[in-house]
Every structure is written in structure tokens, then in C-alpha cells.
Amino acid sequence: MPGMNPIDSALLTDLYQLTMLQTYFERGMRETAVFELFVRRLPPQRNFLIAAGLEQALDYLENLHFADDELRWLAECGHFGRGFIDELAALRFTGDVDAMPEGTVFFPEEPILRIVAPLPEAQFVETRLVNLLNFQTMIASKAARCVLAAPGRLLVDFGLRRAHGAEAGLLAARAAAIAGFAGTSVVLAGPRFGIPLYGTMAHSYVQAHDDEVAAFADFARTQSGPIVLLIDTYDTEAAAAKVARLAMRLRREGLRVDGVRLDSGDLADHARKVRRILDDAGHPEITIFASGNLDEWRLRALVSGGAPIDGFGVGTELVTSADYPSLDCAYKLQEYAGAARRKRSEGKATWPGRKQVYRLRGDGRGPAHDVLTLCEDAHAGEALLRPAMRAARRLAPRASIALMQARTAAGLAALPGRLRALEKAEPYEVRVADGLRHLAAEIDARTAAATAKDLAD
């Protein structure tokens, strides 16, 4: 059955979601469950995270269903009974979602998404929700560091070929745009998300011509978009000199060379030499674009070193979040059938109950900080989790990339300055409200008593 597309398939889940559901259905455990998704701790080189992926999470919840061929396979695989397959055939997501809007700056332990739904539904969606939100949040957070490292420069996602598969390539373009990237090379991100597309040419294009100048001239004469010529296939400075002479000839034909691209060697050194060659030949208008193993640290070094580079293509390091390619992202049961719940596994304990995050801007009376509290305990400040879906219906139209980009920019600007540095800084303060601490202690006492009773029985 090769037709099952992982992006749409309800079978893109962990086996245990299905086995647990089988027990829930058989035991009639269908009361309301509250799950929250959060990141346990920051990766070593992060001072903040940027929430992203909510749009795809809501798409998933809206469309969740098992297709006929999927049900057939499940019925025959030997793990499940007939009655369970009928339950799955009817399974839809019917619940509520509250979430931080995409582009919101957030911190560890803060829920970015809350699901309230009958237990089987709320349980089942775990795997794909984590899969979607973990990835885009991770990439947006990495991309925001690139934006902070290269203020005012054009940043373009060039990572598709080294992204982990098709969906990662497409959604990395989206997450980077939310964080402030100007665009992407991924064509599909144009029609799907309205993200501006950028591109130059490949070395193979230059090599396919017997002559580098002919390759450049052919390209300039056949394109309607911007002309950015790749000049490092053989000898960067020699190619820059060729471009300078060619640009003069093309100008007489009414054509304009917009830029050159460097993709290897010492980018700062090549950029200075190429800038000089172009300027000396009377082409200050030709911009320099650079790519090749760039990350936020190399961007900062190039920019702060004064390299005359106007824009950067950032690829592998961005779309794989190469220094830390995952977040410690968890989706945990916080309440079932009206009672708050808490996981206490070593190093993985969670805060129980339905929670809200309030953000308080710093002022004369104290520094900026967040407060993590139970929903029922209202607090001063901006409430970060907002209603996104009620009874499986979206509450708002899709947010534009521009809006999410603006939210990220405002969130970064409002951060205490130390947290905008690439280096690890003293953490942002997230206060846990007393009511929440009391609830956690109460549940621990109850669980300990139950365990003692079990063992004594």
C-alpha cells in the first residue's frame, strides 16, 4: 500500500497510541483530558525559544481521520480487535485548543499548547503534535539567532537539500520566515505560504558551459527575475573581473547584473577582494551574496568584521538546527476526569493542572519575568496562551507570515538585552505561582499514600 502519504496519514503515529486507545475504549475511559505541550529545558546555546508550527498542528487536528485502506491494514495486522477498528473509523478530534500564537518568545516549562478533549482523542494526537511543534519551534529559534547575529542583512533559507526529508525542508522555510528570514529557495513555500523566493545558480550550471563568461551571459539574457551570478566555480577573483566586464556589455543591452554569490573559501577575504574589483570597475550597484556552512556565529563574525556582504544564504546549520537538532519537548497529561495529574519520573516531573503564562514587562519595580500559574488563578500581565480552537473549529483565519514575523521581532526587542546575545546568558525568570506549587505537593502526597497502600495490600 504505497499510497499512504506520511503527511496526511493517521498511521504516522507511535504504535502505543493505538494500543492505549484500545484499552481506553474497552474500559470506557472517555472523560475529558487536559494535555499540555512544553519544552523541559533550553538547549545549551539558546536563551529563548520561538513558538512555531501551530498552523500545521491545527490542520492536523481538523483533518484527523483513518482512511479505509489504513483501517483495513490495522484490522489485519494482528494487534487489534474488530470493535476497536470500528471505534477508530469514527475517531475525529472534537476538542479545544489554546496556544501561544506563532512567533511568541517563550521559555522552558511554559505550555505553548493545551488540548482539552475526550481522553482517546487527546492521547492519540500526541505523536504528531510533538513532531510538528518540536521541529518548527526549533528552527524558528535557531533562525532568530541568525537574525540577531546579522541585523539588517538579507537572510535566505538555502537548506532544503540537507533538511531531513520533504516536510522538514518545506516547514524549515516557513519557520525561518516567521523568525525574520526574508525568503527561501524552496519553491513550494511560495504557493503554500506566500514566502518570497530567492535563488542564484549552481556550479553545475557553470560547468555545463565550456566558458564561464558564456554561462553568465546566457543566464542574464534568459531570466526575468534578479540576476545573481555564482563566481567561485574555478577562481573567485578572476570570475569577479569577468563579471565586471560582462556587466558593462549587458548594460548596453539594457540588462542588469544584480549580484554575485560566493560559496567557498574565506568569505570575508573574497568579499573584500571582489568588492574592490567591482567598485574599481564602476559597479558599486552589484551586491555580494554569500553562502557555505553559515550559522549564527559565522554570520556574526562576518558582519562584525565588516565583510562587505549584503546577504546570506543559510542552509544546513539552520534547517537541521545543527548544534542541537531537537528540543526536549513533551506533551503531558495534566488533568483527567476533573482531577489534576502529575508525572514524577526522575528528572522529568511536570507541573500539574491547566496552566496559563503571564508576561510582565520590566519597569522600575522589577525586571521582566513570566508567571506560570493555574488558569483559575488570574494574574497581572499579558496572558500568552490564547483560544485557538473550540469544539474542533478554528477561531481565527490563518495568520500571515508578515504578522508572525512582526510578533517575533517585537518579542525579541522586548527581551532583556542579555538574552539577545548568542552566548548563554543568565536565564529569563519564570516564576511558579504558589497555587501551582501547592497543587503539585498535594498530588505527590496523594500518590505516595496510594503507593504505600498498594504495597501494604
Name residues contacting its own copies, limited to 257-316 (CB under 8 A). Answer: 263-265, 316
Query: Do you know the residue count of the chain?
Result: 457
Interface with its own copies by CB under 8 A: which range of 26-34, 360-368, 421-429, 433-441?
26-34
Do residues 102 and 404 make contact, with C-beta atoms less than 8 angstroms apart? yes
Residues 227-246, mask of contacts with its own copies (x by CB under 8 A) = -----xxxx--x--xx----
In the complex with its own copies, which residue's Cβ is closer, 48 or 84? 84
Q: Can you tell me the distance from the alpha carbon of 258 to that of 270, in angstroms, rounded to the nearest whole number? A: 18
Do residues 207 and 194 make contact, with C-beta atoms less than 8 angstroms apart? no
Tell me if 186 contacts its own copies by CB under 8 A.
Answer: yes
**Sign of the dihedral defined by the CA atoms of residues 13, 16, 19, 24, in that order:** negative
Name residues contacting its own copies, limited to 130-149 (CB under 8 A). Answer: 130-132, 134-135
Q: Can you tell me the distance from the alpha carbon of 249 to that of 81, in angstroms, rounded to the nearest whole number? A: 75
Name residues contacting its own copies, limited to 372-391 (CB under 8 A). Answer: none
Q: Which of 26, 253, 279, 376 binds its own copies (CB under 8 A)?
A: 26
Rounded to a whole number of angstroms, the distance between the first and last alpha carbons of the chain is 51
Tell me if 347 contacts its own copies by CB under 8 A.
Answer: yes
CA distances (Å), origin 399, targets 95, 153, 179, 247, 396: 21, 25, 14, 41, 8
Burial bucket for residue 201 (CB in 10 Å: 0-12, 13-18, 19+): middle
Q: Which of 82, 152, 346, 413 binds its own copies (CB under 8 A)?
A: 346
Q: Which of 62, 218, 285, 442 binds its own copies (CB under 8 A)?
A: 218
Interface with its own copies by CB under 8 A: which range of 25-33, 90-98, 144-152, 302-310?
25-33
What are the beta bridge partners of residue 261?
Answer: 230, 289
Helix, strand or coil for residue 377? coil
Of 409, 7, 396, residue with least CA distance to 178: 409
Q: Which of 187, 378, 441, 449 binds its own copies (CB under 8 A)?
A: 187
Helix, strand or coil for residue 168? helix
Interface with its own copies by CB under 8 A: which range of 85-93, 381-389, 409-417, 449-457?
449-457
Quote the least distance from Cβ 94 to its own copies, whole Å. 18
**Sign of the dihedral defined by the CA atoms of residues 244, 248, 249, 251, in that order:** positive
Tell me if 4 contacts its own copies by CB under 8 A.
Answer: yes
Q: Which of 15, 248, 406, 421 binds its own copies (CB under 8 A)?
A: 15
Tell me if 107 contacts its own copies by CB under 8 A.
Answer: no
In the complex with its own copies, which residue's Cβ is closer, 414 or 450? 450
Q: CB-side exposure of 409: number of CA atoms within 13 Å?
A: 12
Quote the least distance from Cβ 381 to its own copies, whole Å. 30
Q: What angle do CA 166, 172, 173 make, to 5 degrees?
A: 100
Burial bucket for residue 176 (CB in 10 Å: 0-12, 13-18, 19+): buried
In the complex with its own copies, which residue's Cβ is closer, 213 or 409? 213
Do residues 305 and 149 make contact, with C-beta atoms less than 8 angstroms apart? no
Interface with its own copies by CB under 8 A: which range of 301-309, 320-328, 403-411, 427-435?
320-328
Tell me if 161 contacts its own copies by CB under 8 A.
Answer: yes
Q: How many residues sit close enough to its own copies to count as binding (CB under 8 A)?
A: 122
Tell me if 213 contacts its own copies by CB under 8 A.
Answer: yes
Interface with its own copies by CB under 8 A: which range of 7-15, 274-282, 301-309, 355-363?
7-15
Tell me if 35 contacts its own copies by CB under 8 A.
Answer: yes
In the complex with its own copies, which residue's Cβ is closer, 330 or 425? 330
Q: Can you tell me the distance from the alpha carbon of 182 to that of 151, in angstroms, rounded to the nearest whole number? A: 12
Q: Which of 185, 291, 356, 373 binds its own copies (CB under 8 A)?
A: 185
Q: Which of 48, 80, 312, 358 binds its own copies (CB under 8 A)?
A: 80
In the complex with its own copies, which residue's Cβ is closer, 312 or 428? 312
Grid cell locating 90: 469514527
Q: Can you tell me the distance from the alpha carbon of 93 to that of 254, in angstroms, rounded to the nearest whole number? A: 58
Q: Can you tell me the distance from the alpha carbon of 359 to that of 411, in angstroms, rounded to the nearest whole number? A: 11
In the complex with its own copies, which residue's Cβ is closer, 148 or 277? 277
Name residues contacting its own copies, limited to 109-128 (CB under 8 A). Answer: 119, 123, 126-128
Quote the least distance from Cβ 409 to its own copies, whole Å. 25
